[in-house]
A = this chain, B = another copy of it.
Amino acid sequence: MRVVVEMSILVVGTVAFDSIEAPSGSVDRVLGGSASYFAVGASFFHPVQIVGVIGEDFPREHLDMFASRGIDLAGLQKEKGPTFYWRGRYHEDVNVRDTLELQLNVLTGFRPRLPESYRNAEYVFLGNIDPEMQSEVLDQLRGSRYLACDTMDHWIQGNRPGLEKVLARVETLVINDSEARLLSGENNIVRAARGILKMGPKVILIKRGEYGVLEFSDSSVFATPAYPLEEVFDPTGAGDSFAGGFMGQLARSRDHSQRGLRRAIIYGSVVASFAVEDFGLKRLDRLTPEEIESRFRQFLDLTDFHT
């Protein structure tokens, strides 16, 4: 008999093969995608359900890895054809990357279908996919939930009306700084956030890579630096790992107060800081809850100037 987890975190996003070149080395066709990073990052805190699509070439070992982390794969659809594929190269300055190849493959025409057991998910993260798919997920949900979404320049420029509909329905937008500027038409990041708050979300989380995260709401501004690392092996998935840690901690604590949000932002930053320490999902795969708590305490020491 299957146990239905009513209070799970649902994520919709990509499951991908990534080929990555970076100054520290390169890897070929490793597991990637926004839903993968999010799900693994969140799984340290709370049960997760994935909605996404994979191709016929998707190996059993990746499914086993997800399952071993308690990630529910009932919503992971398998379609004819190859899995979504991304190939990219990071510069000497790893904040800059070029996309060398992008094959949508089974993502073309993907329509998310939520299994019955997913429809009561209380925490929902709409990863960076077509806003139409994000809306289709929202349409299939029941009851009150904490909804967050991500997006990217491609959708801001290519499907703004669709994106605006999603923004009007979510509690929180997680977005990087250049995309926040693009979405709002404001160069200054504070004004950019204020502009986006008018589009619907109550909370805007602006990811600034190695510079950390800014949180804006109508009544509060919070800023945290990123954890300073001696080596960033592979920044791929840092933003989705952040979102996973953030939503995971929110779901674990059920504390949506400003204090709860801030602590969740730090947990997200902790998970992201580990994610970039090795290629693909390697570091998260060997990460322990103790390491997460230890680095959370290090964040306190890193940023504290009152005591």
Q: Which residues of A contact B (CB under 8 A)?
A: 23, 92-93, 187-191, 194, 208, 210-212, 214, 221-226, 228-232, 259, 262-263, 265-266, 300, 302-307
Contact = CB atoms under 8 A, between A and B. Distances in A.
Contacts of A188: 229-232
A80 B29 CA distance: 69
A227 to B, nearest CB: 8
B187 A93 contact: yes
B228 A214 contact: yes
B305 A259 contact: yes
A225 to B, nearest CB: 4
B302 A223 contact: yes
Given A191-B230, A223-B226, 12 more contacts: A188-B231, A190-B228, A190-B229, A194-B230, A212-B223, A212-B225, A222-B303, A222-B305, A224-B225, A224-B303, A259-B307, A266-B305
Task: Tell me which of A211, A231, A266, A305 has the highest count of chain B C-beta atoms within 10 A of its own C-beta.
Answer: A305
Q: Quick one: copies of this chain in the complex?
A: 2
Nearest to A228: B190
Contacts of A307: 259
A77 to B, nearest CB: 38
B93 A302 contact: no
A188 to B, nearest CB: 6
A187 B95 CA distance: 11
B214 A211 contact: no
Contacts of A214: 225, 228
A163 B165 CA distance: 57
A225 B223 contact: yes
A265 B221 contact: no
Contacts of A212: 211, 223, 225
A111 B42 CA distance: 61
